[in-house]
Structure 1
Amino acid sequence: MNNKTNITNNDIKEKANIQNNSKSYKNKWIMLGVLVTQPFMACIDGSIINVALPTIRENLGITMSSAEWIVSSYLIVISAAILIFGRLGDLKSKSKVFLKGILVFVLGSLFCSLSPNIELLVISRIIQAIGAAMIMATNQGLIADIFPLNERGKALGISGSFVALGSILGPALGGAIISYLSWHFIFLINIPIGLIAYFIGMKTLPVKESNSDETMDKIGATVFVLSILFLFTSILLSQNLGFKNIFIISGLVMGIIFLIIFLIIESKVDKPMLDLSLFKVSSFSINLVCAFISFATINAINIILPFYFTDILKYTPAGISVLMLFNPIVLLFVAPLSGALSDKIGSKKLTLLGLFGTTSIIFGMSFLNEYSTKLHIILLLSLLGLSSGIFNSPNTNIVMSSVPKDKLGIAGSTNALIRNLGLAFGVSLSTSILYSRMSRLAGYRVLEAIPGKDYIFVYGMKGVYITLSIVCLCAFLLSLIDKLKTSKNNKSV
Structure 2
Amino acid sequence: MDRTVRPWPALWALVMGFFMILVDTTIVTIANPAILRDLDADLTAAVWVTSAYLLAYAVPLLITGRLGDRFGPRRVYLIGLVVFTLASLWCGFSGDIGMLIAARAVQGLGASLMTPQTMAVITRVFPPQQRGAAMGLWGAVAGVAMLVGPVLGGVLVDALGWEWVFLVNVPFGVVAFLLAWRFVPRLETHVRRFDWLGVVLSAVGMFLVVFGIQEGETFDWGTVVGPITVWGLIIAGVVTLAVFVAWQALNRAEPLLPLALFRDRNFALSNVAISFVGLGVVAMPLPLAFYFQVARGLTPTEGALMLVPMAVVSGVLAPFVGRLGDRVDPKWIAFAGLSTVALALGWYIVLMTPEVELWLLLPPSALLGFGMSGVFAPLASTATRNLSPARAGAGAGVYTMTRQVGSVLGSAAIAALMNARLAAELPGSGAEAVRPADGGSAAGLPPSLAEGFTAAMSQSLWLAVAAFALCAVAVLFFSRPQVTVAWSEEKAGPRDRERAPEEALRAP
TM-score, normalised on structure 1?
A: 0.82
Match status 1:321 vs 2:300? no
Cα deviation code 1:60-92 (max 9, x no counterpart)? 666665554443322221122121111222233
Cα deviation code 1:317-352 (max 9, x no counterpart)? 443221122222211112111111101223222112
The aligned residue for residue 266 of structure 2 is: 283
Give the C-alpha shift of residue 254 in structure 1.
2.0
Residues 1:203 and 1:310: Cα distance change in structure 2 (over 3 Å): closer
CA distance in 1, matches of 2:212, 2:135: 33
Matches within 5 A, 1:6-405: 27-52=6-31, 66-115=45-94, 120-166=99-145, 170-171=149-150, 174=153, 177-178=156-157, 181=160, 185-212=164-191, 214-238=192-216, 240-241=218-219, 243=221, 247-270=229-252, 271-370=254-353, 371-405=355-389
Q: AA paired with 1:416?
A: T
Residues 1:433 and 1:232: Cα distance change in structure 2 (over 3 Å): closer
CA distance in 2, matches of 1:61, 1:387: 37
The aligned residue for residue 503 of structure 2 is: none
CA distance in 2, matches of 1:167, 1:98: 20
8 Å Cα contact 1:150/1:344 also seen in 2: no
CA distance in 1, matches of 2:124, 2:221: 42
Residues 1:326 and 1:343: Cα distance change in structure 2 (over 3 Å): same
Residues 1:463 and 1:117: Cα distance change in structure 2 (over 3 Å): closer
8 Å Cα contact 1:168/1:329 also seen in 2: no
CA distance in 2, matches of 1:128, 1:281: 33
Q: AA paired with 1:480?
A: L
CA distance in 2, matches of 1:483, 1:294: 20
Where does the alignment leave 5 or more consecutive residues of structure 2 unmatched? 435-445, 483-507
The aligned residue for residue 405 of structure 2 is: 421
Residues 1:101 and 1:269: Cα distance change in structure 2 (over 3 Å): same
Where does the alignment leave 5 or more consecutive residues of structure 1 unmatched? 1-22, 487-492
Q: AA paired with 2:335?
A: L
Residues 1:167 and 1:218: Cα distance change in structure 2 (over 3 Å): closer
Residues 1:70 and 1:363: Cα distance change in structure 2 (over 3 Å): closer
8 Å Cα contact 1:149/1:343 also seen in 2: no
Match status 1:473 vs 2:469? yes
Give the C-alpha shift of residue 376 in structure 1.
3.2
Q: AA paired with 1:328?
A: A
Give the C-alpha shift of residue 390 in structure 1.
0.9
8 Å Cα contact 2:425/2:453 also seen in 1: no
Residues 1:55 and 1:385: Cα distance change in structure 2 (over 3 Å): closer
Q: AA paired with 2:231?
A: I
CA distance in 2, matches of 1:477, 1:283: 14
Residues 1:285 and 1:437: Cα distance change in structure 2 (over 3 Å): same
CA distance in 2, matches of 1:412, 1:257: 26
Give the C-alpha shift of residue 407 in structure 1.
1.8
Q: AA paired with 2:60?
A: A
Give the C-alpha shift of residue 253 in structure 1.
1.7
CA distance in 1, matches of 2:162, 2:295: 30
Aligned-residue sequence identity (percent) comes to 23
Residues 1:118 and 1:134: Cα distance change in structure 2 (over 3 Å): same
Give the C-alpha shift of residue 252 in structure 1.
1.4
Residues 1:183 and 1:317: Cα distance change in structure 2 (over 3 Å): closer
- The 3-state SS of whatever aligns with 1:274 is coil
Give the C-alpha shift of residue 26 in structure 1.
5.0
Matches within 5 A, 1:417-456: 417-430=401-414, 432-433=416-417, 436=420, 451-452=447-448, 454-456=450-452
- The 3-state SS of whatever aligns with 2:476 is helix
8 Å Cα contact 2:329/2:480 also seen in 1: no
The aligned residue for residue 408 of structure 1 is: 392
Residues 1:169 and 1:427: Cα distance change in structure 2 (over 3 Å): closer
Cα deviation code 1:42-66 (max 9, x no counterpart)? 2443455445556556666666655
Residues 1:365 and 1:484: Cα distance change in structure 2 (over 3 Å): farther
CA distance in 2, matches of 1:430, 1:118: 20
CA distance in 2, matches of 1:433, 1:171: 21
Cα deviation code 1:109-152 (max 9, x no counterpart)? 33444555555544433332221110012211212222222222
Give the C-alpha shift of residue 377 in structure 1.
1.7
- The 3-state SS of whatever aligns with 2:281 is helix
Bigger drift between 439-448 and 247-256 goes to 439-448
8 Å Cα contact 1:164/1:329 also seen in 2: no
- The 3-state SS of whatever aligns with 2:327 is helix
CA distance in 2, matches of 1:438, 1:189: 33
Cα deviation code 1:237-278 (max 9, x no counterpart)? 246445556543222122112111111111111111110121
CA distance in 2, matches of 1:425, 1:411: 21
CA distance in 2, matches of 1:176, 1:454: 25
Bigger drift between 395-404 and 86-95 goes to 86-95
8 Å Cα contact 1:76/1:233 also seen in 2: no
- The 3-state SS of whatever aligns with 1:390 is coil
Give the C-alpha shift of residue 431 in structure 1.
5.0
Q: AA paired with 2:476?
A: L
- The 3-state SS of whatever aligns with 1:272 is coil
- The 3-state SS of whatever aligns with 2:404 is helix
Q: AA paired with 1:475?
A: C
Give the C-alpha shift of residue 304 in structure 1.
1.7
